[in-house]
Amino acid sequence: MADTKYTPRLKSEYNDRIKGVLTEKFGYTNPMQMPKLDKIVLNMGIGEAVADSKKATAALKDLAAIAGQKPVATKARNSIAGFKLREGMVI
């Protein structure tokens, strides 16, 4: 195993630059007062994908380009006739 651990790009940006700005702006005296990043979640609502599945795959490609990771497609658990949604469709 390598000695260096991978740190995400946004986390290193937060630690290097943003923490200093927050300390000056809010006057934090203790490092434990600083806000901490636990998890970053990207979400995209694609209501038009119910009619066309190509839009859902295009949205997944866009999220992959933004995040640099493969997105997880959420599937409908049950059918809702009013929304023209069937069980197992990507929403």
Q: At a CB cut-off of 8 Å and minimum separation 6, what does 44 contact? A: 59, 62, 63
pLDDT at 75 over 80: yes
3-state secondary structure of 85: strand
pLDDT at 53 over 90: no
Q: What is the mean pLDDT of the chain?
A: 85
Q: What share of the chain is helix, strand, coil (3-state, %, to 5)?
A: 45, 5, 50
Measured at the alpha carbon of residue 71, what is the angle toward residues 84 and 61, in degrees to the nearest 5? 80
What pLDDT sits at residue 85? 80
pLDDT at 39 over 60: yes
* Contact call for residues 22 and 35 (beta carbons, < 8 A): yes
What pLDDT sits at residue 3? 67
What pLDDT sits at residue 27? 93
